[in-house]
Amino acid sequence: MSDTSPHNKESIFPPPFVAGKHDFHSITEAICGVVEKPLNINWILALGVAGTVMAMLFASIGYLFWEGTGIWGLNNPVGWGWAIVNFVFWVGIGHAGTLISAVLFLFRQKWRTAINRFAEAMTIFAVICALVFPGIHVGRVWAAYWMLPIPNQMAMWPNFRSPLLWDVFAVSTYFTVSLLFWYVGLVPDLATLRDRAKSKLAFWGYGLFSLGWRGANRHWQNYERAYMLLAALATPLVLSVHTIVSFDFAVSVLPGWHTTIFPPYFVAGAIFSGFAMVLTLAVPSRKLFGLEDFITIRHIENMNKIILVTGTLVGYAYAMEFFIAWYSGSPYEGFAFINRAFGPYWWAYLAMVSCNVISPQFFWSKKMRTNLTVTFILSIFVNIGMWFERFVITMTLHRDFLPSSWDYYAPTVYDMSTFLGSFGLFFTLFILFLKFLPAVAISEVKGVMPQADPHWEGYAHAHHAVSNAVSNKEAH
């Protein structure tokens, strides 16, 4: 809490990035300690629960493969249901990681260091969850690989005009770059764990993946350069991946889908949902793993500010959609939006607007922004709201041009078990990550501490120390 920091509320300087009385050693101990402690029963229980839910996902998928897409609630006008909703939902969540890591890195937002590892892991796992869905939702899963441009004797290529194909490229590129970026950032920390390893298995395991890192000056130079390049590579992907996901809808001819606002609106929404998910995970984990000193209220507050901004952007998009629907004079477009708000799925629309537009407005108040309970609850609301946003968009299918083919979509138990199961997959991966990898980037956190400043021991004023901390990190 800021009260415990050397700077009280009246200070004109921002609070430090690490709270508590920490030095380099205590940081290493605190973060590596999570990994090195013996298995704790709560963790095993948590993994058991998440693993069971994940098993439900695989059981649902098994039945889906056995029986066909008909086990879902899809019908003729509504060819895409929860599978696509879930795909977009998880891809959206997968945005915050790269944004926090890459974009904030490039903008020298040093506060990111405490949460970037966390957020990147979340990104990777969310994208894994997302990637499950396009693969399983097709009718003939055994031929799903035809979407990939694999040279074949028939000279049969995918259709490069199809947004779904763009999607394949966009999401797989994003996944690859995010994974690399995450891994590169992990290398120094893996070496730390390797060096502290007490068992042979841990030594070899961490040793293999730390790529012979010795912390040499040259290593650090190459590392910094690689990290910066990957950050620069990943930044446009943050924008492109959800832009292209939005093309799945925007490139169609359907009222309610065929809108140019979709790319920015989807990106804003993705960042919105991504940050919400980071908070949903970070608020309890910092408590459970004793990481309050690293993921401080300042981090939480900053993320809440981003949620407020992106939530309001999304709200603007909702309003603008309605305006354009009216302004375009297209009766189909007009009907599609009136139908969204007042048609049979009015409740989904209401859930979407209240969760995404109304609930973030609480964050105008600093009191709310810095309240952990409020943050956690609102982050859940945003997650729900963003799922409903995708649901509302996808369900636009149910009433399009010819009223004779209008229908209603209702999910089946398999839609639900697949969706719920994807959380099982996500949390299983996440729980494993928390136990086996450093959840906070040790080396980066050290770099933003006052001790990292060569002038730290009384040579300079406090503001100096803070502002120079990262730029002088190379010194270590």
Partner 1 sequence: MKSDTTRKYWRSFDERNQTDAYKAEVSREFQDELDVSTPEPEGTSRRGFLGWVGASLAASGLAGCDAIRRPAEKILPYSVAPEEILPGIPQYYASVTQVGGEVVGVLVESHEGRPTKVEGNPLHRGSLGALSALHQSQVLDLYDPQRLRATAANGRALSAAEARALLAEKGAAWAGKRVAFLAEGVPSPQLARLRAAALARFAGAQWFTYESVSDDHQRAATQAVFGEALRPVYGFAGAKTILSLDADFLGGEGPAVAAARQWADTRRVGANKDASALSRLYAVEASFSLTGSNADHRVRASHAQVEAFAIAVAGQLGVSAPAASVVLEDRQVKAAAAVAADLRASGAGALVLAGRKQPPVVHALAAAMNAALGASVRYYPDARRAPDALGDMAAAKALVAALSAGEVDVLVILGGNPAYTFPADAKLADAVKKAGEVVYLADMTNETTAALDAAKAVVVPRAHYLEAWGDLAHIDGQVALQQPLIQPLHAALSELELLAALLGDKDAKGYDLVRGAWKDATGAVGFHKRWRRWLHEGVVDDAHAAFAASPKAPSGLGGLTATAAAAPAADKLDVLFVPSHNLFDGRFANNSWQQEVPDPLTKITWDNAALLSPATAKALGVVERPVDSDFAVDMVEVTLNGATLKTAAWVMPGLADNTVVLTLGYGREFKNYLPYQEGSYNDSTVYGFDVGPLRASAAPFAASGAKVTKVEGSYFIAAVQRYDNSRQHSIEGFENMERPKIVRETTVAGYAENPTFAKPGIIQHGAPMPDKTKFAVLHPEAKSIYGDFDYSQGHQWGMVIDLSTCTGCNACMVACVAENNIPMVGKDQVRRGREMHWIRMDRYFTGDDANPEVVHQPIACQQCETAPCENVCPVAATVHSPEGLNDMVYNRCIGTRYCANNCPLKVRRFNFYNYSKGQDELIHMQRNPNVTVRFRGVMEKCTYCVQRINKGKRNAALNPEVKQQIIDRITPACAQGCPTKAITFGDINNPKSEVAQLKAAALDYVLLSELNLQSRTSFLAKVRNPNPSFPG
Q: Does 332 engage in binding with partner 1 (CB under 8 A)?
A: yes
Closer to partner 1 by Cβ: residue 139 or 458: 139
Spatial separation of the C-alpha atoms in residues 79 and 91, rounded to whole Å: 20
The answer for residues whose C-beta is within 8 angstroms of residue 197's C-beta and 6 or more apart is 203, 206, 207
Alpha-carbon dihedral sign for residues 243, 245, 249, 251: positive
Among 260, 373, 271, 279, residue whose Cα is nearest residue 312? 271
**The binder of partner 1 chosen from 147, 197, 355, 434 (CB under 8 A):** 147
Closer to partner 1 by Cβ: residue 272 or 409: 409
- H helical segments located in 138-216: 163-196, 200-209
Among 291, 218, 224, residue whose Cα is nearest residue 444? 224
Spatial separation of the C-alpha atoms in residues 450 and 136, rounded to whole Å: 50
**The binder of partner 1 chosen from 157, 204, 364, 459 (CB under 8 A):** 157
**The binder of partner 1 chosen from 151, 216, 367, 403 (CB under 8 A):** 403
- Which pair of tokens denotes residue 462? 């406090």
**Residues 86 and 134: beta-carbon distance below 8 Å:** no
Give residue 275's Cα distance to chain centre.
7
**Shortest gap between Cβ of 152 and partner 1 (angstroms)?**
12
Q: Does 152 engage in binding with partner 1 (CB under 8 A)?
A: no
Spatial separation of the C-alpha atoms in residues 107 and 140, rounded to whole Å: 45
Q: Which stretch binds partner 1 (CB under 8 A): 161-169, 175-183, 215-223, 360-368?
A: 161-169
Give, as ranges, the residues between 237 and 296 that touch partner 1 (CB under 8 A).
Answer: 248, 251-254
Q: Does 416 engage in binding with partner 1 (CB under 8 A)?
A: no
Alpha-carbon distances of 237 from 148, 230, 470, rounded to whole Å = 20, 11, 25
Give, as ranges, the residues between 47 and 106 that touch partner 1 (CB under 8 A).
Answer: 67-70, 73-80
Closer to partner 1 by Cβ: residue 83 or 114: 83
Size of the site for partner 1 (CB under 8 A): 59
Give, as ranges, the residues between 334 and 353 that touch partner 1 (CB under 8 A).
Answer: 334-335, 338-339, 342-344
Q: Which stretch binds partner 1 (CB under 8 A): 13-21, 333-341, 373-381, 459-467?
A: 333-341
Q: Does 164 engage in binding with partner 1 (CB under 8 A)?
A: yes
Binding site for partner 1 (CB under 8 A): 67-70, 73-80, 137-141, 143-144, 146-147, 156-159, 161-165, 168, 248, 251-254, 328-332, 334-335, 338-339, 342-344, 397, 400-408, 410
